[in-house]
């Protein structure tokens, strides 16, 4: 684990809100590593989403004093944007941590990285050019099985925005990151990304958990993040 305090900037998925990472921020702080938890929900409600997200990220951190080595921790769909976030941050970024997250595909859209039927399924459930909230993407709401605390579950559900479906067709930023990267895998859905991380020689950790473990079981997740750092 880091010998000196590291400041972790936590970036939630565009399809969720800060409640999905708030317990992780508290767990990192309890271990002596300050965490900055962003709220980027307002930036994902209109296109171009990528551009708005990056601008909101830079604005959110412009007045936040960051001390010591700064690392960006991106959860889920925030992962592909980490290099662009790092480029726009005035403070030097010491490393990127992909937390059960997608990996960058510079210049490619999400739609180009998945099977056509995956996009078609989301298109069919979209309304007026917007995706439903993330818990409503599925035949059965996954939140009751993943988040047992009723108050936390309600907060995560209430925060989930309706993102323009155009976001899935927007080209991701063409930003290359040459600094250190690492990967923490929490669920089977991201074993492909974990394999890519290992092939790239990144430090990795695997927890037998689930995608929303940063909210429901933050202690082990915080320890894993610090281990890869």
CATH superfamily of 7-228: Alpha/Beta hydrolase fold, catalytic domain (3.40.50.1820)
**Cross-strand pairs, 72:** 9, 96
Nearest to 22 by CA among 43, 8, 32, 2: 8
Does position 80 have pLDDT exceeding 70, yes or no?
A: yes
Position with higher pLDDT, 2 vs 163: 163
CB within 8 Å of 189: residues ≥ 6 apart: 100, 211
Residue 3 pLDDT? 67
Stretch (H or E) spanning 35: strand 35-37
pLDDT in tens, 68-79: 899 999 999 999
The total of other beta-carbon atoms located within 10 Å of residue 182's CB is 21
Q: What is the pTM of this model?
A: 0.96
State the chain's mean pLDDT as an integer. Answer: 95
pLDDT in tens, 8-37: 999 999 999 999 999 999 999 999 999 999
Residue 74 pLDDT? 98
Average pLDDT over residues 119-142: 96
Q: Which residue is associated with the tokens 């473990």?
A: 213
């Amino acid at each position: 684990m880091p010998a000196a305090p590291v400041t972790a900037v936590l970036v939630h998925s565009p399809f969720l809100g800060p409640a999905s990472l708030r317990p992780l921020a508290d767990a990192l702080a309890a271990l002596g590593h300050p965490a900055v938890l962003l709220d980027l929900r307002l930036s994902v409600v209109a296109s171009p989403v990528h551009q708005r997200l990056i601008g909101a990220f830079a604005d959110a951190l412009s007045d936040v004093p960051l001390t010591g080595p700064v690392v960006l921790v991106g959860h889920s769909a925030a992962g592909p944007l980490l290099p662009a976030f790092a480029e726009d941050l005035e403070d030097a970024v010491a490393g990127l941590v992909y937390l059960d997250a997608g990996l960058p595909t510079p210049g490619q859209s999400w739609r180009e990285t998945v099977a056509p039927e995956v996009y078609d399924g989301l298109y069919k459930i979209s309304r007026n050019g917007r995706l439903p909230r993330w818990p409503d993407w599925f035949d059965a709401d996954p939140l009751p099985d993943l988040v047992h605390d009723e108050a936390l579950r309600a907060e995560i559900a209430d925060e989930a925005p309706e993102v323009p479906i155009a976001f899935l067709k927007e080209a991701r930023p063409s930003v290359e990151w040459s600094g250190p990267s690492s990967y923490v895998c929490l669920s089977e859905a991201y074993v492909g990304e974990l394999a890519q991380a290992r092939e790239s020689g990144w430090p990795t950790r695997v927890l037998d958990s689930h995608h929303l473990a940063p909210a429901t079981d933050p202690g082990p997740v915080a320890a894993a993040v610090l281990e890869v750092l």
